[in-house]
Each structure stands twice: as structure tokens, then as C-alpha cells.
Structure 1
Amino acid sequence: MKIAIAGGTGFVGEALANYFLDKNHTVYILTRNASRYTSSKRLHYLEWLSPTSAPEHDLQDIDAFINLAGESLNSGRWTKVRKQRIVDSRITATKEVIRILKALDKKPECLINASAIGVYGTSVDETFTEDPTQVGTDFLADTVSKWEEEAQKASGLGIRTVFARFGVILGKDDGALPRMVLPYRFFIGGTVGVGNQWLSWIHIIDVVKSIEFLIENQDISGPVNLTSPDPKQMKPFGKAIGKVLGRPHWLPVPGFALKLLLGEMSILVLEGQKVLPKKLQENHYPFTYVRLEDAIQNLLK
């Protein structure tokens, strides 16, 4: 296959590119700084989102388009300006994806557009699937709704469109896990906040393989939760880290301190949602890591 990845130089993008290259696919990475990278026979870096860029000239025969582009939610305190940048970066990139898709004579079979389980809002008691009635009202939910609305325009071009709603992605050297592990390495790990907030996680390997699964299964469209079937509350999640590392779980981090430090961004660690991957399970996606303990053991040992 020929696969285009917008935002392909980040954590998920690099993992996807390496995986597809190992399977002898051809990968096109759309990046603002293509000159920083060296292309090869099956890996091509294309400039985009600049006044003179026209990546569509190199994408005429692609089979799938994956859009991961957008400013990180962890890029700093959520000031009014940064929140606008978080929204604008996603909408601007997705508008450009749609423009490129319109310009292609031969359309790809699918667009896999990154999204997030933040669309559901936060809850301690509710369980979320891809039910369209389950939509939150906070900043993250509003951002994701706008993002998906823009990406949905690809379906009007006859392109199967999937919204990959990522949970908390666990990787060895990137993603949320290294930050969560650090206090335990210094013997000061403990419960963050109240501890009953849900953390719907997924191993980076399952992110990559589930996206491949979504590309190959042409009957799947719309929102798809990319989370493990084994979500955990924050307290047992922390205890699992301590157990794998052989470190104590004892020093709590009070919620008010994180709110003072991070402001509204503290919602990422102090609040959460219990999300289940209903569509992946109904379509018999074979998870590599179902249990949290197995995932952490793989990443930390």
C-alpha cells in the first residue's frame, strides 16, 4: 500500500511509519519541515502547510490517508491563546487534508482522522462507547467535535472516513507513561488527585495495529474508540506501575496543587472517562495488550 501520514513526525506518526515500512508499504510523511529529513525509496517527506507547498502532486496513487496533525494538548498551560491554537491547528490541518483530497484524481479508500475520547466529557460513573448521544460540553469535547466535523467532509468525496478516538497512549519513551513513571523511579509515586478518576489507556502497539485494522476493514467508518477493554481508575493504575517497578505507591499528589500548577489543563490527569472500544471488539480486533499489567510490564521491563 501507499499511505500518507500528516503529522507523521510525532510519537504516533513515527510508530506508524516504522510499522508500515517494516511491512514493505510506501509511506509519505507530510511535515512543515520536510528539508530536515532524508527521504528514501519507500519513505518520502513532503512539505505542506506553506504558501508554496502542493503535496497532492506526489499523492495521486495513495491507498489511505492518516491525519494526526495538531498542537499537543500538553504543550503548556491552557491560556486563552493556547486553547485557540489547539483548536486552530487541528482545523487548519484538516482543512488542508480535505483540500488535498479534493485535488486528487484518484481518491484514497479511506481517511483515518485522529480524534480523542475527550469528546465524551468527564465522568466517574458513566461508561462511554461510540454512542453518538454521548458528547461532552467542556473545552476538549468542543474541540474534538469541531475537528471531527471538519474531517467528515471527506465522506462527501466518496472517501470512507474514520475518527480514531485515542485514549491515553502508553509508550516506553514518549506519551503519558514516562511522566507517570518518573515519581516512582524516585520513590515518591502515589495517587494523583482523588484516585477514582478513570484512565482509558492503550499500548502504542495496539494504536498502530488498530489503525492498520481500520484501513483494512472497509466496513468500519465513523468514530472508533482506540482504548484497551481494561480501563483503570487512577489509584490502581499507579499501584500497577509501582508493582512492576518494585517501588512504593504512597505519596499522594493533591488535586488542588495540580490545579494551581496547570490550571484548566489539570483536567487531563484529575478527571477522566471510562471508555470501551465497542466497535473494535464487535469487529474482532485482536488486542495485543488487554491487561494494564501486561502493557506496563512490556514497556518498563
Structure 2
Amino acid sequence: MKILLSGGTGFIGQAITKLLTAEEHEVYILTRNPDKHKGTSQVHYVEWLTENASPENTLPPIDAIINLAGESINNGRWSDEQKKKIYDSRMNATDEILRIIQLLDTPPSVLVNASAVGYYPPSETKIWTEQSTERGEGFLAQTVVDWEKKALLAEDHGVRVACARFGIILGKEDGALPSMALPYKLMAGGTVGSGRQWLSWIHHKDAARAVLFAIEESVEGPYNVTAPNPMRMKEFGETLGKVLNRPHWIPAPGFALKLALGDKSALVLEGQKVLPDVLQTKGFEFAFPTLNEALRDIYA
């Protein structure tokens, strides 16, 4: 297949590109600076979101689009300016994806659009699946709701849309895990907040595989990209400490994190127990279904 990918130079985008090329697909990565990247026979860089860019005029017939573009929620404190950047970057990139779809001679068969488990309300007791009708409140939930709503407009052009509600994606060098592991490496790891909040996680390789699975197996609508065994934060920290052979003993109280991170502290102090019902119902097999397996692979 020929697959168009936005956000391809980011953490999960790189994992997806690696998987797609290993599976002998051809990848067209949308970027503002194509000259900064060296293409190959399988990976091509295409300029977009600049004044003179017209990617629709240079692309071959595209089979599928993966849209991951957007300012990372891990970048900096969530000031009003940063919140606007997080929100606007997702809306603007998706608008451009819709414009490209409309102008292609033949629209792709599917759009897999990134989303997040922040769609669901935080809870220590409830379990959320794709069938859950409740949605969260606040900045992150509203961003996710609006992002999915905009992506679904591609259906007006005959494109199947799957919204990948990613959990916390675990990788050694990027994403949330390095900052979570650092206190343990400094012999200062411990329970974050109450420790009872849920953390719905997934190994980066399984996250990439779940995106390709959605393309190949006709997944439609929202689907949760999380491992089948979410963990409470206390157990997550204990498992991380064991894998790193470091103690789990110095707690990080919630009030201190709120002072340090502001609204962004909700990413670690609040959580959702999210299960990947759609993936499992369609037969997706996780390479790393448990946290111990995932962390031991990452830190092997």
C-alpha cells in the first residue's frame, strides 16, 4: 500500500514508519521541512502546511492516511498559550488532511486519526470501552472530542474513519516513560499522587501494529489503543522499579505535582481504566499484553 502519514517524524510516527516499511509498504511523510530528511525507496517526504505547499499535486494514488500531527501534550507547562497551540495544531492539521482528501483524484479508502483516552472521564472504579457513552470534561477531553468530530468529516468523501484513542505509549527514549523512569534511576522513585489512579498504557510496537491493523481489518469509528491490562499508578511504579532494579519508596504527593505542573498534572494524577474491546473483538493479538513484558522488552 501507499500510505500518507502526518506526524511521521514524532515518537509514534517513527514506530509506525518502521513497521510499515518492514511490511513493505510505501510511506509518504508530510513535513514542513522535507529537505531536512533523507528519503529512501520506501519513505518519501512531502512538504505541507507552508505557504506554497500543495502536497495533493505531488502525491501518487494513496490507499490510506494516518494523521498523527499535533503539538505534543508533553511539551512544557499548560499555559493558555500552550493549550491553544495543542488544540489549534490538531485542528489545523486535520483541516489540511480533509482538504487533501477532497482534492485527490481518488480518495483513500481509510483515514486513521489519532485521538486519546482522555476522551473518557477520570475514575478509580469505572471501566471504559468504546461502547461507553460518558465523556470527560476539561481541556484535554474537549480537544479530543473536537478532533474526532473533525476527522469524521472525511466520511463525507467516502472515506472510512477510525479514531485511535491512544493510551500512554511506552518507549525508552520518548513519550512519558523516560520522565516516569528518571526518579527511579536516581533512586527516588515512588507512588505518584494517591496511587489509585488508573494508567492505561501500551507498548509503542503494539501501538504501531494497532494502527496498521485498523487499516487492514476495516476498523471504523473510535477504538482504544491500550493494552488489555491497565494498572493503577502504585502498581505501575512498583513494576517499573522492579524492572529497573530500583526501590519504590519516595512518594510524589499530588499537591506538589499540581504546583509544579498546573493543569498538566491531570495527566498523572487522574486516570481511566480503558479496555481495547474493538481490537480484541476483531482478533488483534498483543505482543506485550502485560506491563512486566512491555517494560522488560523496552529496557532489555
Residue type of the partner of 1:86?
A: I
- How far residue 275 of structure 1 moved from its aligned partner, in angstroms, is 0.3
Aligned mates of 2:266, 2:113 — CA distance in 1: 24
Q: What is the match of residue 261 of structure 1?
A: 260
CA distance in 2, matches of 1:59, 1:214: 22
Deviation string for 1:225-280 (max 9, x for gaps)?
A: 00001000000000001111111100001111110000000000111100000100
1:177 partner letter: L
1:150 aligns with 2:150: yes
Contact between 1:225 and 1:276, CA under 8 Å: does it hold in 2? Answer: yes
Which residue number in structure 2 is paired with residue 231 of structure 1? Answer: 230
Indicate the residue corresponding to 1:290 in structure 2. Answer: 289
Contact 1:113 1:164 in 2 (8 A): yes
Equivalent pairs, count: 300
In structure 1, distance between residues paired with 2:155 and 2:142: 21
Give the conservation status (yes or no) of the 8 Å contact 1:60–1:105: no
Q: Give yes or no for contact 1:60–1:104 (8 Å, CA) kept in 2.
A: no
Alignment of 1:1-301 (within 5 A): 1-131=1-131, 133-218=133-218, 220-301=219-300
The aligned amino acid for 1:65 is: I
Give the 3-state SS of the residue equivalent to 1:194 in structure 2: coil
Which residue identity is paired with 1:234? M
Displacement of 1:132: 5.1
Aligned with 2:260: secondary structure? helix
SS at match of 1:149: helix
Structure 1: 4+ residue segments shifted above 2 A: none
Deviations 1:151-182 (A, max 9, x none): 01101110000000000000121111111111
SS in 2 for 1:84: helix
Is contact 1:121–1:138 with CA below 8 Å preserved after alignment? Answer: no
Q: Measured at CA, do residues 132 and 53 of structure 1 come closer, stay the same or move farther in structure 2, by a change above 3 Å?
A: farther
Contact 2:74/2:175 (<8 A) preserved:
no
Alignment partners' CA distance in 1, 2:178 and 2:57: 39
Aligned residues of 1:34 and 1:46 also touching (Cα < 8 A): yes
Cα deviation for residue 134 of structure 1 reads: 2.1
Secondary structure of the residue aligned to 2:246 is coil
CA distance in 1, matches of 2:224, 2:134: 13
CA distance in 1, matches of 2:260, 2:160: 42
| Superposed displacement of residue 126, structure 1 | 1.2
> Cα deviation per residue 1:8-64 (whole Å; 9 max; x = unaligned)?
100011111111112221110001111111222221101100111011123341111
Matches of 1:175 and 1:232, distance apart in 2: 18
Task: Structure 1: give runs of 5+ residues left out of the alignment.
Answer: none
* CA RMSD, 1 decimal: 0.9
Over the matched positions of the two proteins, sequence identity in percent amounts to 51
CA contact (8 A) 2:26 2:42 kept: yes
Q: Distance in 2 between matches of 1:57 and 1:16?
A: 25
